[in-house]
Amino acid sequence: MTIRAVLSNGQIHPLEPIPSEWPDGQELLIEQPDATDTQAQIADWSKELDFATAEIPMEEHVRFQHGLDEIERESKEMVRREWVQKSLH
């Protein structure tokens, strides 16, 4: 099993829960990822994404953006209402 983690100030911090069946004190193998592979994977993914989105009609892009704008507007309005409710109590 693989667990993702980050290195910060010389300490390793897991990004997800450690499986409960792993006993305390168990030795773990930590490997540095190959950044070259990662960069190549990102470049490939970017090309695939560009190709796929190029086939989407512009009307769909516009409709999607309108939907995102509406969600943002509703979210802001909800937060404003919550602030008003909290300030009244």
- What are the pLDDT digits (tens) for 30-70? 888 777 778 888 899 999 999 998 999 999 999 999 999 99
CA–CA separation, 70 vs 74, rounded Å?
6
Angstrom CA distances, 15 to 18, 22, 24, 30, 70, stand at: 9, 16, 18, 14, 32
Pick from 37, 15, 12, 20: which is nearest to 3 by CA?
15
**Hey, what amino acid is at 13?**
H
Residue 27's pLDDT is 92
Task: Give residue 2's pLDDT band: very low, low, confident or very high (50, 70, 90).
Answer: confident
